[in-house]
Chain A
Amino acid sequence: MRTIRIGSGAGYSGDRIEPAVELAEKGGIQYLVFECLGERTVALAQRARLKNPDDGFDPLLEARMRAVLPACAKNGIKIVTNMGAANPWAAVRKTAQIAASLGLSRLKIAAVMGDDVLDACKQHDLPLIEIDGTLKTLGNRIVSANAYLGAEPMAAALKAGADIVITGRASDPALFLAPMIDAFNWPMDDWNLLGRGTVAGHLLECAGQVTGGYFADPGFKDVAGLARLGFPIGEVSEDGGLVITKVAGSGGEVSARTCKEQLLYEVHDPARYMQPDVVADFSQVSVEEIGPDRVRVSGGRGQPRPDTLKISVGYVDGYIGEGQMSYAGPGAEARARLALEIVRERLKLTKVEASEWRFDLIGIDALHGTQRSQGSAPYEVRVRVAGRTDTLKEAVRIGDEVETLYTNGPAGGGGAFKSARDIVAVASVLLPRDLVAPQVRFVEA
């Protein structure tokens, strides 16, 4: 039976660069996928594009392409990525320039476009999912709306001979499903095959998170070599069989336990993992260690795809101002608590306006509140005050006030930090899929 090997070269936009080079040089892979597009990255990229029509794609695109293109061209490895962000066409042109500067010719590079559905979202009032409200409640604060596209346009680009496919918003597992559809001609209504392919894509999409990254807990789950963590390879066979592995000699581990953790990552009902191409069913999946750093994954299934596509809607959501200060040694907690009281009173006295506040003691209650902390006195405590404001000016005042603890607060405060940032938040809606029309456009390097 035919098998392909797909490497996962990045699990988020800022991920390490060299593991992908290792995959391209030593992984024996035919496809290399980079998942680099977070929930709100498209919204931020959309703003960059409004400022400069040639911008709006992933800021690390050039660094990643320069690093992997020579080995990919030499070994005939096709690249699929969502580094197009808000501007896949500009990303494709940039990639063509990079290829030319590296002396690589005859590369066919495809942009997948059409995920931008801002106009359609302005015409329909749809309920928000995962949070309360509807599109209308966001009003004119909406800056972007992008559909999670499925694998079809990416697979079509590969079929048409693309060496590199760059998309904007697409479902993360679909980035991996596209090579499988390209290689095996899977019908787009074979739900069980698409479900198995989605299991593979889901396990691979966060790169190092299935090879021992984000897993170690010393004494309980020890993992060697995290500084040179190897990124995963999925060996997928024509019938959707899957083995997860990595480059021999790289750090980390591929084991039943790493695969189980990643299988459930960001999953709600495991029997209904909603994707643009299929509703995947992970509930019957089994994992089996068949060799060193080799895990066989079986039992994925699928049901017909939904009639709607998930849309990420970016909207302007005010500002967050923040300030921090540390206290240490005997009485650290008491001085930190006094510092919070002082800042609280000062913010009132000087009438800083915020709709929501946080007064945290990092080291005591910042992550999980007071209920979970053990009550033992920590050696050091960091004060953190954050507030949500309508203007940048107001946000700046919060950090400024915390900073004044230096000369006006309790003894021994050190390491002040302040920030004020504008917030582009993301909400989700479901849009009928016939309102979304993906297109593929090529450039030759």
Chain B
Amino acid sequence: MAKLRDIAHSRTGDKGNISNISVIAFDARHYPLLCEQVTAARVKAHFEGIVFGEVVRYELPNIAALNFVLDQALGGGVTRSLALDAHGKSLSSALLDLEIELPPDHDRGAA
């Protein structure tokens, strides 16, 4: 079992109480695998207890990337949150911990 971090990189952004997390394949050949395994439902489950709203996924095949938009994710909003990481900047690192099943003949690409 591999981690998402082995095949993709990620950055978190914040607006109000909404977080967005990109997931970008190091190697475009892994993009279909990302689409198949990193679903909105799985991301929502991964962030149980942190993200309380809907998770929407956008697909960007040209850059082999997914963009997740997580509602009610930032303790009421960046400018008023009591959290240590009010922006949720560290959420991308949590997502890269997601387990990924790689095909047996897998080549880890750029990682």
Contact = CB atoms under 8 A, between A and B. Distances in A.
B97 A356 contact: no
B111 A220 contact: yes
A437 B60 CA distance: 37
B84 A130 contact: no
A257 B24 contact: yes
Nearest to B14: A266
A302 to B, nearest CB: 17
A265 interface: yes
Interface in A377-417: 384, 386-388
Contact of A267 (B13, B62, B78, B97): B13
A356 B9 CA distance: 34
A427 interface: yes
Interface stretch (A113-121, A225-233, A237-245, A282-290): A282-290
A214 B84 CA distance: 18
Contacts of B90: 367-368
A260 B91 contact: no
A130 B53 CA distance: 12
B99 to A, nearest CB: 13
Interface in A262-310: 262-271, 282-287, 299
A283 B65 CA distance: 10
Nearest to A299: B62
B63 A285 contact: yes
A424 interface: yes
Nearest to B63: A260
Contact of A270 (B48, B58, B84, B85): B58
Nearest to B69: A268
Contacts of A328: none
A18 interface: no
Contacts of B20: 264, 266-268
Interface in B9-42: 9-11, 13-18, 20, 22, 24, 26
Interface string A406-438: 000000000000000001111110000000000
A428 B16 contact: yes
A268 B15 contact: yes
A425 B77 contact: yes
Nearest to A387: B82
Given A264-B13, A264-B22, A266-B15, A358 B83 contact: yes
A266 B13 contact: yes
Contacts of A264: 11, 13, 20, 22, 24, 60, 65, 67
A268 B53 CA distance: 15
B94 interface: yes
Contacts of B18: 130, 268
B9 A221 contact: yes
Interface in A351-378: 356-358, 360, 362, 366-372
Interface string B94-107: 10010000000000
A241 B65 CA distance: 22
A131 interface: yes
A265 B11 contact: yes
A189 interface: no
Nearest to A428: B16
A132 to B, nearest CB: 9
A62 interface: no
Given A131-B16, A283-B60, A369 B50 contact: yes
Contact of B84 (A367, A425, A428): A367
B76 A131 contact: yes
The 4 closest A-B pairs by CB, nearest first: A130-B16, A266-B13, A264-B22, A425-B80
Interface of A: 39-40, 129-131, 214-215, 217, 220-221, 257, 260-271, 282-287, 299, 317, 320, 356-358, 360, 362, 366-372, 384, 386-388, 423-428
28 contacts: A39-B79, A131-B76, A220-B9, A220-B111, A221-B9, A261-B24, A263-B63, A264-B11, A264-B60, A265-B11, A265-B22, A266-B15, A267-B20, A268-B20, A269-B58, A270-B67, A284-B62, A286-B62, A286-B63, A287-B63, A358-B82, A358-B84, A366-B85, A367-B94, A368-B90, A425-B79, A426-B77, A428-B16
